[in-house]
Structure 1
Amino acid sequence: MEKLRQFARPTSYFVVLCLLSLGSYMPASRAAIISTEAVATANQIQIERNHLNQLFDRDNVKSYLRAQGVEPASMQARVDSLTDAEVHALASRLDEYPAGEGFGTLLTVAFLVFLTLLITDILGYTDIFPFVKKSAE
């Protein structure tokens, strides 16, 4: 028993020292200055996304989407899933059209892209939409 104590005491000091050194390790945090341009860009993207959401909330747009066979809720989900660059491109293109001229063409193109992605997802070539059920193979 005495030999065990003679061995255990220095070993326990070593173990305590190792645990204290591991427990006191704090990783360095990295902080960077955010530029005004980055904040303004993020703010502008949110404004453009809200503009697109308001556009798709209008009754005439909803009726047009239903006439084309697109549910407004799915279109709303598509707008929410767009990247910041896509939102900016879409919003800037909408602002170029005078009083909605050519908006039908834009919606048609967006619908065709959505339909193409949906068909490729159904066929199993892509995995974009989580609501498409995959068959067991």
Structure 2
Amino acid sequence: MHQLRRLTKPVSHLVVIGLLALSLHMPAAHASMIGTEAVIDSAQVQQERARLHAALNRDDVKSELIARGVDPAQVQARVDSLTDQEVQTLSTKMDRMPAGGDAIDLLVFVFLVLLITDILGFTNVYPFVKHPKR
């Protein structure tokens, strides 16, 4: 019995030191409730990320990327590595970009410039403009 006590004392010291060493390296777990806003934001980010992927998967976008020397798979990987804030910023910028609206503005501008020059007599583009006789 005396011999058993002599063996258990160093083993118990070793077990206590091991438990202390393990507990010092483990971070404390902090649990809290997840708010509705966090869940909604996470869902919105996932939708925006899916929308970015869908936009990049279009054939015209892929062909333009390849024409510029960019691998579409690498672009997809970079979209996956974006943070949530970056995805939201990129999605917002995509929403603000005009989709062909500049072409209509340009056509109206060219029409007006040609009309004014035609009225002033510098050009003869439109048949409905009456030119003064010289």
- For the criterion TM > 0.5, the same-fold answer is yes
Query: What is the CA–CA distance in structure 2 between the aligned matches of 1:65 and 1:55, rounded to whole Å?
Result: 12
Structure 1 pair 101/75, CA: closer, same or farther in 2 (3 Å)?
A: farther
Say how many residue pairs are matched: 96
Matched, 1:55 2:55: yes
Structure 1 pair 29/78, CA: closer, same or farther in 2 (3 Å)?
A: closer
The TM-score normalised by the length of structure 1 is 0.56
Query: What is the CA–CA distance in structure 2 between the aligned matches of 1:85 and 1:29, rounded to whole Å?
Result: 26
- Cα pair 1:52 1:91 within 8 Å, conserved: yes
Matched, 1:43 2:43: yes
1:89 Cα deviation after fit: 0.6
What secondary structure, in the 3-state scheme, does the structure 2 residue paired with 1:34 have? coil
Query: What is the CA–CA distance in structure 1 between the aligned matches of 2:31 and 2:59, rounded to whole Å?
Result: 46
What secondary structure, in the 3-state scheme, does the structure 2 residue paired with 1:98 have? coil
**Percent of aligned pairs sharing the same letter:** 44
Q: Which amino acid aligns with 1:46?
A: Q
The TM-score normalised by the length of structure 2 is 0.57
Q: After the TM superposition, list the runs of 4 or more consecutive aligned residues in structure 1 that deviate by more than 2 angstroms.
A: 8-20, 25-30
In the alignment, structure 1 segments of 5+ residues that lack a partner are 103-137
What secondary structure, in the 3-state scheme, does the structure 2 residue paired with 1:99 have? coil
Matched, 1:86 2:86: yes
Structure 1 pair 29/84, CA: closer, same or farther in 2 (3 Å)?
A: closer
Structure 1 pair 90/100, CA: closer, same or farther in 2 (3 Å)?
A: farther
1:46 Cα deviation after fit: 0.7
1:39 Cα deviation after fit: 1.1
In the alignment, structure 2 segments of 5+ residues that lack a partner are 103-134
